[in-house]
Structure 1
Amino acid sequence: MKARGLRAGLEYKWGALSCTSIGALLASINGGSLIVALPTLLRELHTGLFSLVWVLLSYLLAQTALTLTAGRIADVVGRKRLYVGGFALFTAVSLLAGFVGGAGQLIAARTLMGAAGAFMMATSSVIVTDAFPSRELGRALGINMMMAAAGSTLGVVVGGVMTSISWRWVFWFNVPLGVVGTAWAAANLREVVELEKGRRLDVAGNLAFLGGLAGLLVALTLGGIRGWGSPLVAAGFGAAALLFPLFLLVEARAKDPMVRLSTFRSRTFAFGNLSAFLNSVARFAVMFMFVFFFIGVRGYDHLMAGLLLVPLAGVMFVAAPVSGWLADRGEARVISTAGMLVTAAGLLGMGTLVGAGTPYREIALLMAVVGAGSGIFNSPNTRSIMSSVGPGERGVASGTRTLLTNVGGVLSIALAISIVAGAIPQREMFEIFSGTTGHPLSPEEAGPFVSGFHRALLVGAAASLLGALFSALRGRT
């Protein structure tokens, strides 16, 4: 696949970046607002914690399972076509999701939204990488990360406001921005590389990966809620143990594999992706857990909980473009490693210092530290990964990075649920997660939740330290 002359003109590269930034903004607003709405969904849909968690995980699972396939499709049918189609589908399903009548229907809608998100996420980094010269790529990716952080910041506030009206508006809020984003992308994006012909989709690899990951997530979430001796938990772990090795075997033999294992021979590519995976494991569940901490333990309403979460994403909004700018002028390895160490320090503080009576200013400071670490890490790490492959492999490279980031995210949520839910009696667990405790909990009442909360955060700190090690060992970029 050869570039058509010069990569893209001055006008196009900023137009392309505006399109991907709107997509990043929409996706992160939706994610942040939904997390704040979870306690209300648990009550008003009359569902259990397992179904509630899968309202969140179904999106991530679908997005994860389809990301690499979407990256391959993008290399064949075109980045623009897939990105615009994903944007349109996301918008349409958001409208429908606001009309559902039960948890099962909402999980189905979220699964479709996850598929649409995969089409957008798998092509976003590729569109930016195709449009910008290498010397400006870090800054461009930093702007994308900044918009994602802005969306997360807005999302928790939007979620609080919309949920105070009706949880359905959490989904309907997406529609106007989605319509604008779809039309803007259709009008401004273009194909700047030649499309590949004759490539096939790896159906067997996709099915093996999806089955293994779904089994693992079911086992982790169900084990913490209903007990590790459940036959479904054993079946889930068994499916993962069988299907993940089968997936690697299929990939090694496939003509056009879902994951090109040979790309992992590059230490920069392999260790950059491992760092991205561990960064997601470390931080993804932090906002999820703090929603239940602020609503279930502290007794705040949804709007106040959303406002209290702002430092977590707000500082990332500032740090992301700065770290991207530095990555264009320095060594991505050093900056990314520093970001993971900062994240580990913040998580360690949360896992040892935050309790039912901790002053908010101390919690806000620790959230700001974690947000800064994530902002410092992401842009240079993405630049390093995308720069380590040629133009013809950028679709799959972007898909691989997004896949591992999403796998880390779903595992982070599943691990947090299994650790926290396993520490709390069933009745108290429902009251905290549904926000129906009726009053702020005393340190003694909140003790079991806080204990599990601390353990989950310390697991995240350990993952971040391990990620920093891989990041430091990736080699010069």
Structure 2
Amino acid sequence: MTDTAQKRAAGDRYKWTALTNTTAAVFMSALDGSIVLIALPAIFRGVDLDPLAPGNIAYLLWMIMGYRLVQAVLVVTVGRLGDMYGRVRIYNAGFGVFTVASVLLSFDPFDGGHGAMWLIGWRVAQAVGGSMLTANSAAILTDAFPEEQRGFALGINQVAGLAGMFIGLVAGGLLSAWDWRAVFWVNVPVGVFFTLWAYRTLRDTGKRGGGRIDWWGNLTFAVGLSAVLIAVTFGLQPYQGHTMGWTNPLVEVLIAGGLILLAAFAVIESRVAAPMIQLSLFRLRAFTFGNLAGLAVSIGRGGMQFVLIIWLQGIWLPLHGYDYGDTPLWAGIFMLPLTAGFLAAGPVSGYLSDRLGSRGLATSGAVLFGASFLGLMILPIDFGYWVFALLIALNGIASGMFASPNSSSIMGSVPAASRGVASGMRATFQNSGTAVSIGLFFSLMIAGLAGSLPHTLTSGLHQQGVPADVAAQVGSLPPVSSLFAAQLGVNPIQHLLEPSGTLAHLTAAQQQTLTGREFFPALIAGPFHSGLVIVFAFGAALAFLAAIASGLRGTNPVIGKQPQEKQHS
């Protein structure tokens, strides 16, 4: 074999090694972003935390949002570090951090609030490692694969990341049915193996960008984006008699301060010699519109998953005879068509994008994504399962059609030396969209519930013999408490009436009705459907905006050509 043939064979082996390792990395990172969503009931029971106690809603929100917040804030920074010091070096370190944090998560030594804080803290550390993996994986692949195979490789990688998000919903239900700690154990053997393999086999093959750290840019971006996302978290919590906290002065200060810092960040990036984000990349049409489309789809996808989980666990499954303790497992099983649709469409669309181009596939996927939201919007609250399965399968297919071509278009449009930071920017749009989506969708859902839920709860309880003052007190609970109770497998009626002794004064039939698994779901079904219509209409609007942005991306992105950028001392 000639030297040229040997080099080509070695290059072929390396590119498949890089694809396998980075695919496992982004899969694990995304899996951990969603696996907790469906496993929260088991986790709260495992650390002995009362989900309806005052203040405990904050633990639940941070368990969900903390991971996404850190990933949204850090991916651009660690992508830039990869451009400067080597993408593989930063990537390998991220694998180690992620694995160590997974080990410590699975050994929570505390109970109650302290146990929740342990989990939140180490999930934040895990998100740091996940950011280092996510930001550099696409850049490593873009360096390793030739242009004609790049769409396929990036498509597989992107599909793996989103598949991890979808599969996490199923895995969380299955593992939490065995032991809540298994939700975190699952990462440990995989993490150890792939960490060692990455250190042994991966190498930097691309051009480094050089330069130095843009400290002011990093600081204003991290603090500004964190402030906005933290404000979203506080905005979901009740405040002084209001159903949500958007009137809380702290929320207003955080949002205003965060936006001011992000505006300062944009000014700084246009003036420094080595910016954290290369604003000149936004002159590339495919890069700009691809990221805008990706942001809109991420907002729609992340919030939809959360709403579907509450719908299944809190209403549909109990109405169909499933015990609250079993709903996480069955919710994961019944959402399998969503995962299957995505896994079927994702790799195929990545393969086709190399031959047919990205714009048509991505735009069609966004349109189908919006159509699935419209279908879910007209579905009755107590639906026939196969219609629901078809709609969520279409939603998964649409996500797969969009994700791979969109990622390939974005990464193929940037210069080689900027692939790390471009990958980080793409991931920031995606992670920010997912984090913001939970806040937006939850706010819309709570707004939909607030109009009718208090009256529905009060009258329903009073009809079952509950005294008017007690019924009014339960009915006045913030709607967010009812939503979280539904998701966490808690019957709030029994939980709230037992301490007051009200149940003991009712007839046996009334007690059985109130504490049964159908009374609360049937009671909130009407108000919940009002919220669903608002949420899914918003999701459809986002999807169609994504389709417009995707159509505007152009057809011939410039690969490897650096736009001229004015330098400042």
Match of residue 517 from structure 2: 439
Q: How does 1:6-405 map to 2 (within 5 A)?
A: 9-43=11-45, 44-46=48-50, 48-100=56-108, 101=110, 102-197=115-210, 199-226=211-238, 227=244, 228-298=246-316, 299=318, 300=322, 301-355=327-381, 357-405=382-430
Match of residue 562 from structure 2: none
Q: How does 1:425-436 map to 2 (within 5 A)?
A: 425-426=477-478, 427-436=481-490
The letter for the 1-side match of 2:524 is E
C-alpha distance in 1, partners of 2:196/2:437? 35
Deviation at 1:416, TM superposition (A): 1.6
Q: 1:420 to 1:18 in 2, by over 3 A?
A: same
C-alpha distance in 2, partners of 1:51/1:7? 52
Deviates more, 1:233-242 or 1:126-135: 233-242
CA RMSD of superposed structures (Å): 2.0
Deviation at 1:149, TM superposition (A): 4.7
Question: What is the total number of aligned residue pairs between the two structures?
Answer: 471
C-alpha distance in 2, partners of 1:235/1:51? 22
Q: 1:8 to 1:77 in 2, by over 3 A?
A: farther
Determine if contact 1:7/1:132 at 8 Å carries over to the other structure. no
Q: 1:358 to 1:202 in 2, by over 3 A?
A: same
C-alpha distance in 2, partners of 1:387/1:399? 14
Deviates more, 1:399-408 or 1:102-111: 102-111
C-alpha distance in 1, partners of 2:117/2:280? 40
The letter for the 2-side match of 1:434 is L
Deviations 1:241-270 (A, max 9, x none): 322212211222222222111110111111
Larger Rg: 2
C-alpha distance in 2, partners of 1:241/1:191? 37
Determine if contact 2:73/2:226 at 8 Å carries over to the other structure. no
Deviation at 1:170, TM superposition (A): 0.5
Deviations 1:391-448 (A, max 9, x none): 1111111111111111111111111222223425425234213221351455542222
Q: 1:270 to 1:416 in 2, by over 3 A?
A: same
Pair 1:449-2:475 in alignment? no
The letter for the 1-side match of 2:485 is E
Q: 1:8 to 1:272 in 2, by over 3 A?
A: farther
Deviation at 1:70, TM superposition (A): 0.7
C-alpha distance in 2, partners of 1:56/1:124? 24
Deviations 1:279-336 (A, max 9, x none): 1011112222222221111234221111111111221111011101110111211111
Deviations 1:65-105 (A, max 9, x none): 11111111111221211111111111110111122332222
Match of residue 467 from structure 1: 546
C-alpha distance in 2, partners of 1:13/1:404? 27
Deviation at 1:354, TM superposition (A): 4.5
Determine if contact 1:145/1:321 at 8 Å carries over to the other structure. no
Deviation at 1:127, TM superposition (A): 1.0
Determine if contact 1:280/1:408 at 8 Å carries over to the other structure. yes
The letter for the 2-side match of 1:260 is Q
* DSSP-derived class of the 2:355 partner: coil
Q: What's the TM-score once normalised by structure 1's chain length?
A: 0.93
Q: 1:39 to 1:449 in 2, by over 3 A?
A: farther
Q: 1:206 to 1:42 in 2, by over 3 A?
A: farther
Q: 1:363 to 1:126 in 2, by over 3 A?
A: same
C-alpha distance in 2, partners of 1:234/1:376? 38
Determine if contact 2:65/2:233 at 8 Å carries over to the other structure. no
C-alpha distance in 1, partners of 2:124/2:490? 28
Deviation at 1:222, TM superposition (A): 2.5
C-alpha distance in 2, partners of 1:170/1:411? 24
Deviation at 1:352, TM superposition (A): 2.9
* DSSP-derived class of the 1:328 partner: helix
Determine if contact 1:145/1:317 at 8 Å carries over to the other structure. no
Deviates more, 1:358-367 or 1:436-445: 436-445
C-alpha distance in 2, partners of 1:351/1:260? 40
C-alpha distance in 1, partners of 2:107/2:302? 28
Deviation at 1:42, TM superposition (A): 4.2
Q: 1:131 to 1:354 in 2, by over 3 A?
A: farther
Q: 1:275 to 1:105 in 2, by over 3 A?
A: same
* DSSP-derived class of the 2:330 partner: helix
Determine if contact 1:57/1:410 at 8 Å carries over to the other structure. yes
C-alpha distance in 2, partners of 1:225/1:329? 49
Deviations 1:35-60 (A, max 9, x none): 11123334533352232121121111
Determine if contact 2:39/2:173 at 8 Å carries over to the other structure. yes
% of aligned pairs identical?
Answer: 38
C-alpha distance in 1, partners of 2:397/2:299? 16
